Amino acid sequence: MEFVAREKELKFTTAMKAYVEEKMTKLDKYLDNTNGRIVLKKEGHEMLVEISLPGNIRSSAKNSDFYSLVSKVINQLERQIKKHSQITHRKEGKMANNIKPFIMETEEIYEEIPIVKEKLIEVELSTVEEAIDSMELLNHDFYAFKDITNGMLSIVYTRKDGKYGILKLDH
């Protein structure tokens, strides 16, 4: 587990690290490898805890109590993993042994160009409904996929009115 404190006045104590690692064992029954990244930030009078796992599974919460935050975030991750397993089960016709990564992240900062994050997206073949399920599972505003009905690269997104839109890319 990688521990990152974003603010100078916030530090991970040995007790905090041990608590996170103990709580992460709850996810061992769902994933082969529960290594991930935990980020601690200060936002106003509260702390923000974000835990990211392989396969672009992540969750975050804000509160003033670190230990309750970690418990809440771990519970959210467990629900996401269960939901993803159900989607994978329905999609592949079998139960998945571990979560498949479908977005690989790398953070790179360039001096001349103001790009602060770059993502490589492995586009999956799926229906629009499956893409919407995956987008909601990840709690994202958009999701790129290859449409199973016409083979086109497409992006489904959430509109401001709460409905969904779809962009079909001509390549």
Instruction: List pLDDT tens digits, range 29-61.
Output: 777 666 778 888 888 888 888 888 877 788 888
Q: What is the pLDDT of residue 91?
A: 56
Please say whether the beta carbons of 23 and 70 come within 8 A.
Answer: yes
Q: What is the pLDDT of residue 49?
A: 86
Q: What is the pLDDT of residue 127?
A: 92
Residue 53 burial by Cβ neighbours in a 10 Å radius (0-12, 13-18, 19+): buried
CATH no. of 2-92:
3.30.160.100
What DSSP designation does 29 have?
Answer: G
Q: pTM to 2 decimals?
A: 0.49
Residue with token string 């602060």: 116
Residue ranges matching CATH 3.30.160.100 in the chain: 2-92
Structural Rg of the chain based on CA atoms? 18
CATH no. of 103-169:
3.30.505.50
Q: What is the pLDDT of residue 64?
A: 85
In angstroms, what CA-CA distances link 90 with 81, 83, 86, 167? Answer: 14, 11, 6, 25
Q: What is the pLDDT of residue 157?
A: 94
What 3-state class would DSSP assign to 11?
coil
List the chain pLDDT tens, one digit each, 171 residues.
Answer: 566 666 666 787 888 888 888 888 888 777 766 677 888 888 888 888 888 887 778 888 888 888 888 899 888 888 888 877 766 555 555 444 444 443 444 444 444 556 777 777 788 899 999 999 988 888 888 899 999 988 899 999 999 888 999 999 876
